[in-house]
Amino acid sequence: MAMSRLRRREALWFYAFVSPWVIGFLVFLLGPMISSIYLSMTDWDSFTPPKWVGLDNYVKLLTEDPVFWKALGNTFHYAAISVPLGLLIGLWLANLLNKQVRGRKLFRTLIYLPTLVPLVAASMAFRVVLAPSGPLNDVLGWVGISGPQWLLDPGWVKYALILLSVWGAGSATVLLLAAMRGIPQELYEAAEIDGAGPVRQFWSITVPQLTPVIFFNLVMGLIAAFQVFSQVYILTPKASQPGTYNASQTTVPYLFDQAFSYYHMGYASAISWLLFAVILVFTLLAFRTTRRWVFYETEVK
């Protein structure tokens, strides 16, 4: 009897302790989510009462809104290049740093430093670096390439954003380097005895051993890239300006504009659910295909 009273007391304390999360979940997540589903089926400017329109917003987005498709396409384009490229460069640099290099700490610091720069500050620096007569084009000029107008050229602005993202490859480098240090040395010793060269060892030992980490970072990186906002908002001209052709419009800035510039709250909510669907599909797809190419040590028995 006493035991069960103690148990009850324990349970009550549990609910008391987790109450901040429960309240936060109801007020800031579940409530808003339900309200967002409802809003996405209304026409609402946030001042007058919402008008029920059913699935119209979704239909309009998917069939009549070329800017939405353009923004989605740009987002895919950005994510599909920046995330794998960042990981590849990270893998390459981590492999170099994993060798017996003198001054490893210094190199690692220099490579990691850009990732500590807040996005706003990084965007400011890149605004000047990517200026038509900025240092990047100066350097390209030395080797005889006349650089593009980067942020001002609709054809190049996406690559400017990708450059900014790849500047942060240091975070992948440090993560992968830490993981590389966990690979048992015996694997390399055995390969050495078998006569495998460094390149062969890299592809047959290092890469397979790292696939769980690479995979995790790929998925997380894609999710983050789909939600890119600050650098697009800061670095690229407003979509409403003539001559930009929405070249750099991506999903979240488009959502933001719809909600907070045009007060299309219902339409913007519908965009957020489509974005969620894309992220969800992608995450599930990524997890479904893991078996095929991710190596977990526990699988080898």
Partner 1 sequence: MATVVSAGAPQKQHGEKHQDDGAKRTSDAPRVLRVFRATPFTYATLIVVSAILSTPLVFGVSIALSSDQTVSTNAFTIFPSEFRWENFTRVFGSDLPMGRFLVNSLIISVGSVIGQMVSSGLVGYAFARLRAPGKNVMFLVVIATMMIPTQITMIPQFILFKDLGWVNTYLPLIVPNFFSNAFNVFLVRQFVSRLPSELDEAAMVDGLGFFGIYRRIMLPMLWPVLIAIGIFTLTYNWGDFMGPLIYLNDESKMPLALGVQYITTTGVAGQPPPWNLVMVGSILLTLPMIAVYYLGQRYLYEMDISGGSAGVK
Q: Which of residues 184-213 bind partner 1 (CB under 8 A)?
A: 184-185, 188-189, 192, 197-198, 201-202, 212-213
81 is an interface residue for partner 1 by CB under 8 A: no
119 is an interface residue for partner 1 by CB under 8 A: yes
Three-class secondary structure assignment of the chain: CHHHHHHHHHHHHHHHHHHHHHHHHHHHHHHHHHHHHHHCCEECCCCCCCEECCCHHHHHHHHHCHHHHHHHHHHHHHHHHHHHHHHHHHHHHHHHHCCCCCCHHHHHHHHHHHHHCCHHHHHHHHHHHCCCCCHHHHHHHHCCCCCCCHHHCCCCHHHHHHHHHHHCCHHHHHHHHHHHCCCCHHHHHHHHHCCCCHHHHHHHHHHHHHHHHHHHHHHHHHHHHHCCCHHHHHHCCCCCCCCCCCCCCCHHHHHHHHHHHCCCHHHHHHHHHHHHHHHHHHHHHHHHHHHHHCCCHHHCC
- # binding residues, partner 1 (CB under 8 A): 106
Residues 239/64, Cβ–Cβ less than 8 Å: no
Show contacts with partner 1 in window 153-172 (CB under 8 A). 167, 170
Q: Which is nearer to partner 1, 83 or 275 (CB)?
A: 275
With CB under 8 A as the contact rule, the residue among 73, 84, 114, 237 that binds partner 1 is 114
With CB under 8 A as the contact rule, the residue among 54, 66, 144, 182 that binds partner 1 is 182
Q: How far is the CB of 34 from partner 1 (least distance, A)?
A: 8
3, two tokens: 């035991």
- Interface characters, 241-280, with partner 1 (x: CB under 8 A): -----------x--xx--xx----x--xx--xx-xx--xx
Strand partners, 42: 52
With CB under 8 A as the contact rule, the residue among 67, 85, 88, 125 that binds partner 1 is 125
145 is an interface residue for partner 1 by CB under 8 A: no
107 is an interface residue for partner 1 by CB under 8 A: yes
Show contacts with partner 1 in window 219-238 (CB under 8 A). 223, 227, 229-230, 233-234
Residue 276: how many CB atoms within 10 A of its CB?
13
Q: How far is the CB of 15 from partner 1 (least distance, A)?
A: 6
Q: Which is nearer to partner 1, 24 or 155 (CB)?
A: 24
With CB under 8 A as the contact rule, the residue among 15, 49, 299, 300 that binds partner 1 is 15
- Interface characters, 277-296, with partner 1 (x: CB under 8 A): --xx--x------------x
51 is an interface residue for partner 1 by CB under 8 A: no
Q: Which is nearer to partner 1, 81 or 119 (CB)?
A: 119
